A and B are shown apart, each in its own frame.
Chain A
Amino acid sequence: MKEKYIKGVLVFITAASFWTCGNSDNVGESQIDTNPPILNGLDVWLRNNFVTPYNIEILYKWDINDTDIDRFLHPPFESSVRPVGDALQKAWIEPYTKVGGQDFIKNIAPRQFTFVGSFNFNPNSPTITLGIAEAGTKITLFNIDYLDFSDINSIKQPLKTVQHEYGHILNQNIPFDVTYGQINPQDYTAQWFNRTDEEARELGYITAYGSSSEGEDFVEMISEMLTNSKSEFDAIVEGISNERARQIIRQKEALVVEYYLTNFGIDFYELQDLVDKATKALVN
């Protein structure tokens, strides 16, 4: 009894002592400037078309921390931003929304894009980086000042990057079938850049980069199929001379199609057709 009494007193005192720390002053108004920044017409368009409907932010105003500080890069012309935004809307968001439902992109999407005007040269290497995706939340697109909207291949360049990275994001939500990586694992290599796309195709990979690992292989299949019409993609596959390689790529194609249907209820070929029509409509 005595013990209980002591415990009770101690608990009471402890609780009371917390209250004594309370300061009677009320918290005043925030000292942080919360005024909205100056918005130009482009900012308003981006808010109305990406932030409000999809919670996707498009950063085009320079912040040195958005990219590798050691690279020599520069922001885009303001006039380069909207055409790329349009391309994302028409050839990525709208087709997925049509086949996957109104909330598809709202639920699964990178939350931030960064647009960079200049080419991103890799130091000590004859290569450039076209895009970077970080943890399924952010995609950086480079050289948008140099895209030629009268040339469909130029338009396809950023779209392929986005379709590729979006494939990764879908995989992060629902992994693809492990049997995919068992189809032809023997020729995956970290030195994929020593292969041409044509050489990789003869080995059963749709691109050289696709021959780097099964994860990249899967999303390279997605991005190649979504930046070519079905007939164009078929022509690529039929152009492969090695019959076994053709069969492998068809097998991978079937797994991609099944992945979309089983997990998201999406008819991949319908999506492919919509993306193709939208991409062609973007050409000036």
Chain B
Amino acid sequence: MNRKLKYIRLIILLLLVVYSCNNDNGEDLFSASPAERIAQGNAEVLNLLISEPQGYKADYFTKNDEFGGFTFYLKFNSDGTVGMTSDFDSETSIQSSSFEIRLGTTTELVFTTRNHIQKVSDPLAEGLIGTGFKGTSVFQYFGSEEGALIFRDVRNKDTGFMKLTPSGFSNFETQSIEKVEASLEQRENILPTVNSSVFQLLTVENANGLSNFDFNYDALRLFSKPQITLSDGNIQEYSFGLNFNESGFIISPAFQYEGEIYETFVYDDSTNSFVSQVNGTTATVYYSDTPSFFKDDVNGLGALGRQTFISFLEDGTSPLTSPGFNALLDTLESNVNQIVGFENWNYLGYAYLAVPNATGDVRVDLFFENPNNPDPERAIYLFTPTVQNNRLFLRFTGVTNQTGFDLFEALVPMIQFWASPEGIYYVDEGTFTSDIAEYGNSAATFTSLSQSNLRTYGLWIN
């Protein structure tokens, strides 16, 4: 029995061996072998890159749900080197490094040694320690669209992409640097200045009329989260990253609103605004004298937790204090130092006491360091408050102490700020954060509606 089984096994083995000789003679799906096709794919991309003697412009968004993008100019050479510049920062000189085309998951462009493009993956980036802009050195080739080569990030494959378009230059070395420096200027143009309003809006004008969004631009991340307050009081938020170029900026993802798609904004020097025109509609980013919508936070002033507001230099700086307000503080100190006997006084900060006294007045106390007195000096001014249409109106009613009298003329700009004829716009701003401190205290801003370049940020201490 056993022996029979052995024979059967041997015969089965024999049959298997015979069948294994079967020749499928299958039809080849590709004319070339896999190795040849890989080499061909790589060569195709390489040839595209080195075939542009004046290089490419690269629009690179590292992660468009978190950051804006940067513009690079790249000139690929057949010896495996690439020269590049970028508008990442003010170091714009063209640097050389290596690149390779490799097969990874698909054909990949790899910037193999450090150059401008690695600035987006530098974990030492100020304010973004550990991650930088979450960029990469490895890009997957996704083909070409309308003459542009499309690459995607291996990691952020849905949000990170680089688009290469031929530079069209006649002199890569000089023109690329001119372009990135112009781009850096545009990045400055969007920022508030000493004189510009703090209310940066995105306004869409179409057949339905005007729609105003608070632009909410984060200059560190080059990222905006525009918010519009709908007629029912709800807030709708959009978000996109900005990538500046010599004429303005492009955004990603594109901003879609009421049937139109806005992607390219051009700077208009005469109005200090960025404009995108699509099918007779216009989207504009500009500085307005008023916010898009008046929140009603002002009604909480004087209640528990909104009684004493302070803003002191020692607590650090915040972008929510406008450049204009910082300039005002410099003016105050300078004015005070011009008075005989007050030459060495230093401005420390102020307090806004929001609970009215027996006569119904609120107080603004300005604090100074007097080198001859260990305790801070203070100048105290009174105002009568009223709230109308979510605006705070303070009518100046008087001075209550000698220092207040002595410094009155010098401190007029500050008194005018609080006594703004158009009122003050008050907004709760979450918890206090500055460049040197983070406190659990509620923070807030006061903005003059008569001088909309003046906004002050601070915290409530009770």
What residues of chain A have their CB less than 8 Å away from a CB belonging to chain B?
Answer: 3, 6, 10, 13-14, 17-18, 20-21, 31-33, 38, 40, 60-64, 69-78, 117-121, 123, 145
A21 touches B20 (CB 8 A): yes
Is there a chain A Cβ closer than 8 Å to B461's Cβ? no
B17 touches A14 (CB 8 A): yes
B112 touches A75 (CB 8 A): yes
Residue numbers in A under 8 Å from B3 (CB-CB):
3
Q: Give the residue of B114, B124, B136 whose beta carbon is less than 8 angstroms from that of A64.
A: B136
Of chain A, the residue at the smallest CB distance from B119 is: A74
Q: Give the residue of B113, B122, B138, B155 whose beta carbon is less than 8 angstroms from that of A77.
A: B113
Partner-binding segment picked from B127-135, B212-220, B283-291, B392-400: B127-135
Partner-binding segment picked from B33-41, B52-60, B298-306, B380-388: B33-41
Q: Give the residue of B7, B79, B110, B130 whose beta carbon is less than 8 angstroms from that of A121.
A: B130
Q: How far is the CB of A175 from chain B (nearest CB, A)?
A: 38
Residue numbers in B under 8 Å from A64 (CB-CB):
104, 110, 136-138, 154
Residue numbers in A under 8 Å from B100 (CB-CB):
61
Residue numbers in B under 8 Å from A21 (CB-CB):
17, 20-21
Q: Which of A17, A60, A62, A123 has the largest count of B CB atoms less than 10 A from its CB?
A: A62
Of chain A, the residue at the smallest CB distance from B100 is: A61
B110 touches A32 (CB 8 A): no
Q: Give the residue of A40, A74, A145 whose beta carbon is less than 8 angstroms from that of B137.
A: A74
Of chain B, the residue at the smallest CB distance from A120 is: B123
B112 touches A61 (CB 8 A): yes
Residue numbers in B under 8 Å from A10 (CB-CB):
7, 10-11, 14
Is there a chain A Cβ closer than 8 Å to B159's Cβ? no
Q: Give the residue of A6, A60, A72 whose beta carbon is less than 8 angstroms from that of B134.
A: A72
Is there a chain A Cβ closer than 8 Å to B307's Cβ? no
- 8 A Cβ contacts from B1-57 to A: 3, 7, 10-11, 13-14, 17-18, 20-21, 33, 35-36, 39
A62 touches B137 (CB 8 A): yes
Give 29 pairs: A residue, B residue, CB < 8 Å, sorted on A: A3-B3, A10-B7, A10-B14, A17-B14, A17-B17, A18-B17, A21-B21, A31-B35, A38-B80, A61-B110, A62-B110, A62-B137, A70-B155, A71-B123, A72-B121, A72-B131, A72-B135, A74-B114, A74-B118, A75-B111, A75-B113, A77-B114, A78-B97, A78-B113, A118-B122, A120-B123, A121-B129, A121-B130, A121-B131
- With A17-B21, A60-B113, A64-B138 given, name 6 new contacts (CB 8 A): A17-B17, A32-B35, A61-B98, A75-B114, A78-B98, A121-B130
Cα A18 to Cα B135 in complex, Å, equals: 56
Residue numbers in A under 8 Å from B11 (CB-CB):
10
Residue numbers in A under 8 Å from B35 (CB-CB):
31-33
Q: How far is the CB of B4 from chain A (nearest CB, A)?
A: 12
Cα A151 to Cα B105 in complex, Å, equals: 42
What residues of chain B have their CB less than 8 Å away from a CB belonging to chain A?
Answer: 3, 7, 10-11, 13-14, 17-18, 20-21, 33, 35-36, 39, 79-80, 97-98, 100, 104, 110-114, 118, 121-124, 129-132, 134-138, 154-155
With known contacts A17-B17, A61-B100, A119-B123, A75–B118 Cβ distance under 8 A: yes
Residue numbers in B under 8 Å from A117 (CB-CB):
114, 118
Cα A258 to Cα B234 in complex, Å, equals: 76
Q: How far is the CB of B438 from chain A (nearest CB, A)?
A: 16
Q: How far is the CB of A141 from chain B (nearest CB, A)?
A: 15
A61 touches B113 (CB 8 A): yes
Of chain B, the residue at the smallest CB distance from A15 is: B17
Residue numbers in A under 8 Å from B137 (CB-CB):
62, 64, 74-75
Cα A123 to Cα B36 in complex, Å, equals: 42
Cα A172 to Cα B114 in complex, Å, equals: 35
With known contacts A10-B10, A14-B17, A72–B114 Cβ distance under 8 A: no
Residue numbers in A under 8 Å from B97 (CB-CB):
77-78
B114 touches A123 (CB 8 A): no
Residue numbers in B under 8 Å from A72 (CB-CB):
121, 123, 130-132, 134-135
Residue numbers in A under 8 Å from B154 (CB-CB):
64, 69
Residue numbers in A under 8 Å from B124 (CB-CB):
118-119
Q: How far is the CB of A30 from chain B (nearest CB, A)?
A: 8
Cα A17 to Cα B20 in complex, Å, equals: 10
Q: Give the residue of A3, A40, A70 whose beta carbon is less than 8 angstroms from that of B98.
A: A40
Q: How far is the CB of B114 from chain A (nearest CB, A)?
A: 5
Residue numbers in A under 8 Å from B131 (CB-CB):
72, 121
Of chain B, the residue at the smallest CB distance from A81 is: B113
Cα A38 to Cα B13 in complex, Å, equals: 51
Residue numbers in B under 8 Å from A123 (CB-CB):
130
Q: Which of B7, B36, B112 has the largest count of A CB atoms less than 10 A from its CB?
A: B112
B114 touches A20 (CB 8 A): no
Q: How far is the CB of A203 from chain B (nearest CB, A)?
A: 32
Cα A3 to Cα B122 in complex, Å, equals: 78
Cα A64 to Cα B136 in complex, Å, equals: 9
Residue numbers in A under 8 Å from B132 (CB-CB):
72
Residue numbers in A under 8 Å from B10 (CB-CB):
10, 14
Of chain B, the residue at the smallest CB distance from A23 is: B23
Cα A121 to Cα B20 in complex, Å, equals: 55
Residue numbers in A under 8 Å from B18 (CB-CB):
17
The 7 closest A-B pairs by CB, nearest first: A61-B112, A74-B118, A121-B130, A31-B35, A38-B80, A77-B114, A17-B17
Residue numbers in A under 8 Å from B110 (CB-CB):
61-64
Q: Which of A13, A73, A74, A145 has the largest count of B CB atoms less than 10 A from its CB?
A: A74
Cα A6 to Cα B36 in complex, Å, equals: 50
B113 touches A76 (CB 8 A): yes
Q: How far is the CB of A87 from chain B (nearest CB, A)?
A: 19
Cα A71 to Cα B155 in complex, Å, equals: 10
B118 touches A69 (CB 8 A): no
A33 touches B39 (CB 8 A): yes
Residue numbers in A under 8 Å from B14 (CB-CB):
10, 13-14, 17
Q: How far is the CB of A128 from chain B (nearest CB, A)?
A: 9
Q: Which of B11, B98, B114, B138 has the largest count of A CB atoms less than 10 A from its CB?
A: B114
Cα A20 to Cα B22 in complex, Å, equals: 11
Residue numbers in B under 8 Å from A78 (CB-CB):
97-98, 113-114
Q: How far is the CB of B83 from chain A (nearest CB, A)?
A: 13
Q: How far is the CB of B135 from chain A (nearest CB, A)?
A: 8
Cα A18 to Cα B97 in complex, Å, equals: 55
Cα A147 to Cα B409 in complex, Å, equals: 56
With known contacts A62-B137, A75-B118, A123-B130, A118–B113 Cβ distance under 8 A: no
Of chain B, the residue at the smallest CB distance from A22 is: B21
Cα A121 to Cα B104 in complex, Å, equals: 26
B114 touches A76 (CB 8 A): yes
Residue numbers in A under 8 Å from B114 (CB-CB):
74-78, 117, 145
Cα A121 to Cα B132 in complex, Å, equals: 11
